[in-house]
Amino acid sequence: MDWYEIWAEFDGEPRKVYIFCMRSMASGAAYHRAYPHATQQAFLEAHELAFAWFGGVFRLLRFDNLTSAVKKILRGHQREETTRFIAFRSHWGFQAEFCTPGEGHEKGGVEGEGGQFRRNHLVPVPKVRSLEELNRLLESCSVEEQSRLISGRSQTIGTAMLAEREHLLPLAALHFPQVNQSGWVKVLTNFYSTPLPVGTRVEAKVYSDYVEIWHSGRCVALHERGYGRHQQVLELDHYLDVLVKKPGAMASSTALEQCRAQGRWPASYDRFWSMTSEREDRHAGTRAMIEVLLLSRTYGAARVRQVVEEALAMGAPSLSAIRYLLNVDWRQAASEPAVIELDALRRYDRPQPTMDAYEQLRPTWTETPQQDAVSRVANLPVATEVVQ
């Protein structure tokens, strides 16, 4: 494996990123993954993703003397490895070899893979919106590489990769932690909340900056990763179904405290909570606040927050008013009227009526006897006084 650097534009801003590359000497296939920094966490995570991409684990991997794996260089090829790297390779079952310092060519074709991949797929500088989009680009280019035929070989990279897969070690078994009595899952040294029942077995996926909790093939919880020890990383939404039955525990809950500390609890929620509690009672006001938070699952947190602020501005801080405002569709239509182009109506224009066709008949028109009598009567003088 090896690291190389590239430049990419993220929303027009140039930024340097580090690309992890793992290349198979047998098939010539290579896996590329971008990270903002070449940390040990990124180093280990990229290995797991590469193993999944190749469909198995290589029995032997060659490395530089990078600090993510090597603590101290000893005599010859002997190395004092870092504790975390020893645990990692023991878990996956591969052997590690380290190059002679300054002799990176001992790793094989991976030294030239970065340059080849960059020239063929990353020129000009890629323009993306996020690191995730860049990694999707790298993965699609890696798949495209499978149709390439390396000089001197009779099989394409993809064909050789399929034959190679039969000789790889199987992927390591995953650890499935169990949801405890508090609704938490222990991942490494910290605890993360889930919306699942107590005793449920889940799959935890740990990345460099976040943790995913999976159950039944779907991600049920996504948390920012904690790097301390025995930390509780909680999401308030995971406890709403319980709190609606026990609203008294809402105000002093750790999940609400963390939500406030992260800046995800707007001041408008406190105003709504306070006003409903004063109008009714504390218990009913807290329950109404929880019901409002539950509406975020249907309408989204941003929309609910907007409607709460509108209800406060109208002087109607109540659950029924918020539900009504969320379901009124004409408000959006009134605020964004449809624009009609006047020129588009010209196809409905019709000419004004005219009497020209009738005027053409006048030269041949003659009065009938009946018409003549009527005209004479119309011309008689009108009596102006009454005769007695």
Is pLDDT larger for residue 335 or for residue 210?
Answer: 210
Burial of 141 by CB count in 10 Å (0-12 exposed, 13-18 middle, 19+ buried)? middle
19, pLDDT greater than 80: yes
Q: Any bridge partners for residue 127, and if so which?
A: 9
pLDDT for 387 equals: 47
185, pLDDT greater than 80: yes
- Per residue in 115-161, pLDDT (tens digit) is 889 999 999 999 999 999 999 999 999 999 999 998 888 999 999 99
pLDDT for 99 equals: 86
Confidence band of 346 (pLDDT split at 50, 70, 90): confident
Name which of 71, 44, 79, 64 is nearest 114 in CA terms.
Answer: 64
- Per residue in 298-340, pLDDT (tens digit) is 999 999 999 999 999 999 899 999 999 888 754 554 555 666 6
* CA distances (Å), origin 244, targets 239, 284, 308: 9, 10, 19
Q: Tokens 């943790």 label which residue?
A: 211
